[in-house]
Structure 1
């Protein structure tokens, strides 16, 4: 009997199952660990964790709420998945990031499978390495925001289309691939709205105009696809419109048309807004970005031009969001799977010189980072922030040093033939991924400060009863409601809940003088109450001699409580200092209002 070759019979690591499995397991362990390694950082992470907590607590899976107020800006998929995670595993940081983390992993798995099927096994491996280690994809995969959920679902759509239309796809594979594409568009729509199918549809139109592949439209399985699409999307849109007649106009007109054509949310930016995020986001593969895009111009064998479709997807998405009146960094995240496949295609024919240039560029990023560490450590301007900058500097130094070492190692390996080039790719991926995660991990003290978690013990000590009110005066805290498992009563500042408060004005206090009157009533009745106050407003309260105790303070907020009864030994005003780098409090086992 003829013996099979050993896993190490080839010198290339791409041909060694043991090596690939070791890389995969190490990658998964780090990826999953990092889901719970940091505090939830406002605004997005706190917002979507709290919305899911309230969904689970109220049992209302149709009408979305933030801070107990109707919140109709986005569809419910993210909140549904987070609420299910909380129901299964309890409240916590990693549970809040589980859906986005799985979406990021699904994107990596899909480009690996699609690259293998459409191009070659080697392209599939390289595509997974590129996407999984890209700074933006790996980073956003650990942020509880809508962008990774949307991007993961759009990756299903893109890969489904590529798999269905590839050369030599069987009838069954074509049908299943297109149904996956339609499902991806439906779930993308349920993640973030109409762009879930409008943008892929526009890409298909542009691709057809470029390649003149009109026959493609006969292979889309339109009837089955549309039935699947509406089966997934229509029920919730119908139910929420029936329960909330104000939803359709706000969601479809205000949140889509007005948002794209104007700066209604004050999130504008110059035409070049996304270029820095693209450059930073594709590290450690920046040296291959232009070559990868140029690879999309080439012609594939057969009628369907997969590389051209990937190029159109990348360029059109980038252009669309660049001309939009509303811009946020995460908007371009859906282009990274397409870029990963294009870069992987180029890597198959990349010369040793190209690899070395990319390695040098990556190493230089690390070198520049090391040169500016001292400047970063000295950026603090307040006594509270100075130690945060100083504490973050060593983490950045480690990440920069690893980047420099990875660039040098990849440069040396790139000269050693095909196996050396493959090892150089693995080194770039490994050092880029780990360096990025180290930088994220070191940011956690800043995350705690931004979230205000240092003040949680002091606030909890004042919550004598579940009904004890917490007021948010002049500012809204996005993360504290989740950690406290307690909604806030807004005062004077509606923040992003203005539309919901127009529908439910009884849920807030529009005028500061009305809050002061209510605060004084709490005092006269001997009731406990807490207020998180903007710093300038606190100074005005102090000047007005409002009766209060300061139980927490930092440069972003002052937290006050009603004084104890007059017969208490602690009736005088006092300030309770808080640590600048507090531990993350453990979330309770069950949600409640």
Structure 2
């Protein structure tokens, strides 16, 4: 098995991608970040707002438009009712990320096995899976940036094809900015430059200044043109949004400096290896390429430190750290491939037995655990449940057998199979967790022939479900409304509905229904009032 996998690395990566990032893309409801992006993409097609981007008809300049363009093209091809089609660009750019990770790791070490292991670790890390299966823009920024870093690394390391490497590095670093502004430049590129400068040094630049200047020029043009355009044609809104966004990095979701110190847990199944690979005194005498290990370790820690300096912190902001972390984990995995069978030190083998024994136990216990937890909710999902149970039990047994034999390579690839089967076979079981008897879309409201006005700005999920730009109004505009005798008014569920009582001198106000997009019922802790909206019939007296 190992020989077959390592002999065909690109096919292995492609199979991983298909199982983990392509399967069941349309299962989950869109989250708030996806809804914002999908609305903007839809309005590119319906309203022609390709550069001066909008959300529900209002300016949305918080993020550059490149991923939204790609999503709009996918929406035009597959239709905006297809969540899988809208998420497909993120899945494809993740495939690019995986292939580039393999190429960069191989360039760094000239070791095919290390490169493949690193790529498989990255592709099965929790937050990479989350980002690659969602229509959010972080994965685009970091994938384009890693492409740029790949050519930048070659630019630094070689004296041939200088202009080709500088042009391609400039192009992809610029496209990263076009995806999410300077986020990846700060969190991925700058740490790379720090680590490279410390470990490899910037040497022999006598012939490189001109192509380097050309690279910087390309990055500047690609990074600046959209911002310049919106300031040129919509300066007021651009300034207002820029001030709001800059403030959010200082006083929004502020967390202490040490908030990210458990960052390796974001790799999910690689949490324990992710911690061990950071123990430099332990691994420095065990890795096959000390200089490369020092480089990726410093890259990881520099990225973590730079992100920790920023007051605003969220778990998902750690996504770029997982890229060099996967390369760091790869060195620990490579060491276990070579020496786990012969090592006799208990303190060294115990973490391996614990980590992969736990994964094996979860696999074997899955059928009973899922049955007890889901119970009647398994109705309609038995095929997925049975297939997943068989696959995970087999993987669990396989892992225990290989651990007993101390064949770590097969343990590693068995762990990769665990993730593949969990997503490819078990992901539809997520629907068994859902169920809201009060779930209601806008279908009933839209049967009305009356004009529909929105009193408050609806949340992005509601606007996405509404399917078009809503017609905004205010209390004062409703009072002055003289042209229409009867109208339907949508209100945000969180707001005080008694405001409508002040209109009773002009209108009769009748509650007609509630839109509720919560996939879970109101007894669950994740139930959100912001996903609800009441609508009323207002008839002039």
TM-score, reference length from structure 1 = 0.72
Q: Distance in 2 between matches of 1:123 and 1:533?
A: 53
| RMSD (CA atoms) | 4.3
Counterparts of 1:549-560 in structure 2, within 5 Å, are 549-552=511-514, 554=516, 556=529, 557-560=532-535
Q: Distance in 2 between matches of 1:235 and 1:539?
A: 47
Cα deviation, 1:380-409, whole Å, max 9, x if unaligned, reads xxxxxxx99999999999989977864553
Q: Distance in 2 between matches of 1:515 and 1:438?
A: 53
Tell me: higher relative CO, structure 1 or 2? Use CA pairs within 8 A at least 6 residues apart.
1
Partner of 2:454: 471
Partner of 2:496: 537
Select the residue among 246, 269, 272 that pairs with 1:284.
269
Select the residue among 57, 76, 83 that pairs with 2:46.
57
Flag the 1:191–1:553 CA change in 2: closer, same or farther, 3 A.
closer
Q: Distance in 1 between matches of 2:502 and 2:371?
A: 41
Q: Distance in 2 between matches of 1:246 and 1:349?
A: 57
Select the residue among 335, 340, 356 that pairs with 1:349.
335
Q: State the 1:51 CA deviation.
A: 0.8
Flag the 1:204–1:93 CA change in 2: closer, same or farther, 3 A.
closer
Q: Distance in 2 between matches of 1:396 and 1:269?
A: 40
Deviates more, 1:117-126 or 1:202-211: 202-211
- Give SS of 2:442's match: helix
Select the residue among 552, 557, 562 that pairs with 2:537.
562
- Give SS of 2:63's match: coil
Q: Is the 8 A contact 1:61 1:80 kept in 2?
A: yes
Partner of 2:33: 44
Q: Distance in 1 between matches of 2:260 and 2:226?
A: 33
Cα deviation, 1:492-525, whole Å, max 9, x if unaligned, reads xxxxxxxxxxxxxxxx53xxx436637x868x61
Q: Distance in 2 between matches of 1:394 and 1:337?
A: 35
Matched, 1:153 2:125: no
Q: Distance in 2 between matches of 1:249 and 1:84?
A: 29
- Give SS of 1:79's match: helix
Matched, 1:358 2:355: yes
Q: State the 1:179 CA deviation.
A: 3.7
Select the residue among 171, 178, 181 that pairs with 1:193.
181
Q: Distance in 2 between matches of 1:404 and 1:217?
A: 56
Deviates more, 1:479-488 or 1:135-144: 479-488
Cα deviation, 1:231-287, whole Å, max 9, x if unaligned, reads 42333222212102236645655424x333x21xx32234444456640x3122223
Cα deviation, 1:348-405, whole Å, max 9, x if unaligned, reads 2112436434312434666999998799779xxxxxxxx9999999999998997786
Cα deviation, 1:298-330, whole Å, max 9, x if unaligned, reads 59999x944333223322222222332222232
Deviates more, 1:368-377 or 1:344-353: 368-377
Partner of 1:314: 300
Flag the 1:15–1:206 CA change in 2: closer, same or farther, 3 A.
closer
Aligned residues: 508
Flag the 1:205–1:422 CA change in 2: closer, same or farther, 3 A.
closer
Partner of 1:517: 479
Select the residue among 67, 87, 104 that pairs with 2:94.
104
Flag the 1:140–1:439 CA change in 2: closer, same or farther, 3 A.
farther
Q: Is the 8 A contact 1:141 1:148 kept in 2?
A: yes
Q: Is the 8 A contact 2:256 2:311 kept in 1?
A: no
Q: Is the 8 A contact 1:359 1:407 kept in 2?
A: no
Q: Distance in 2 between matches of 1:547 and 1:445?
A: 39
- Give SS of 1:282's match: helix
Q: Is the 8 A contact 2:186 2:306 kept in 1?
A: no
Structure 2 segments unaligned to the other structure (5+ residues): 342-348, 517-521, 523-528
Q: Distance in 1 between matches of 2:133 and 2:232?
A: 35
Select the residue among 422, 425, 433 that pairs with 1:435.
422
Flag the 1:158–1:184 CA change in 2: closer, same or farther, 3 A.
same
Partner of 1:210: 198
Q: Is the 8 A contact 2:195 2:296 kept in 1?
A: no
TM-score, reference length from structure 2 = 0.78
- Give SS of 2:30's match: coil
Partner of 2:462: 480
Structure 1 segments unaligned to the other structure (5+ residues): 1-7, 379-386, 491-507, 567-593
Partner of 1:117: 107
Q: State the 1:68 CA deviation.
A: 0.7
Q: Distance in 2 between matches of 1:540 and 1:375?
A: 47
Partner of 1:293: 278
Select the residue among 11, 14, 20 that pairs with 1:24.
14
Q: Distance in 2 between matches of 1:216 and 1:355?
A: 43
- Give SS of 1:552's match: strand
Q: Distance in 2 between matches of 1:391 and 1:356?
A: 37
Q: Distance in 2 between matches of 1:137 and 1:440?
A: 16
